[in-house]
Every structure is written in C-alpha cells, then in structure tokens.
Amino acid sequence: MCTSFASVISIIFAILSTKPKVTYEQFTEDDLQARKVNLLFFGNFYQMSLDRYQDAMNELINERDYVYNSLTRDLYYLGKVLEKKYRMLSITYTIFMIGIVLSVMAFAIALYYN
C-alpha cells in the first residue's frame, strides 16, 4: 500500500515537473517596435511570418543593447522555469525515497512477524 501511494504521488510530481508550460503572448507591431517582444522565445514569434521575423531579428542583431537585453531576459526566465522544475523533481525524489524506505520497513516487519 505504501509503495503504491508513494509511486502514484511520485509519478504525479514527475509529470508536473516535466510538463511544459509555455506562454503564448499576443503582441502588436507597436510592441515589436518598442522592443517589448522577446524574439528569442518561440512563444513570441511562432505566429509571425518568416519575412517579418527575419526583419525583426535583423533589427535585433544590429543593435547591441537590444541583443544583450533579449539574451539576458531569455536566460532569466529560463532560470525561473528550471528552478521550479528542479524543486518539483526534488519533491518527487523525496516522496519516492520515503515510499521505498517505508515499503522495505513494512516488508521487514511483515516478514519478522510471520
């Protein structure tokens, strides 16, 4: 019983930690011109035409501050996502480990008293 419960909880946490969470933001041409759009994140550019994306990327590449700000923002949010995933995976491993230990203890007790 302990093993089953711990396994189910571990599986749920493992799924939650690996499940992608993608934000798909709508933006306008004004947002693009104001550099409020992160062109390095696919959730922001997947709806753009190839020609418009190439033009926007050429603008980004030609302006050093814009490139560095975009890279910095992208790395920051990747770190935020990874922190949450690693925390969830840590919880998953802990639940699984406790479940295994309790199962071994229950088996040893059952073996001893039978």
Q: How many CA atoms lie within 13 A of 41 on its CB side?
A: 21
Question: How far apart are the C-alpha atoms of 70 and 19, rounded to whole Å?
Answer: 25
DSSP character at residue 41: S
**For residue 114, is pLDDT > 80?**
no
pLDDT at 51: 92
DSSP character at residue 88: H
Instruction: Evaluate whether 56 touches 48 at the Cβ level (below 8 Å).
Output: yes
DSSP character at residue 24: -
Over residues 78-110, the pLDDT tens digits come to 898 889 888 888 888 898 888 888 888 888 898
Q: How many CA atoms lie within 13 A of 79 on its CB side?
A: 6
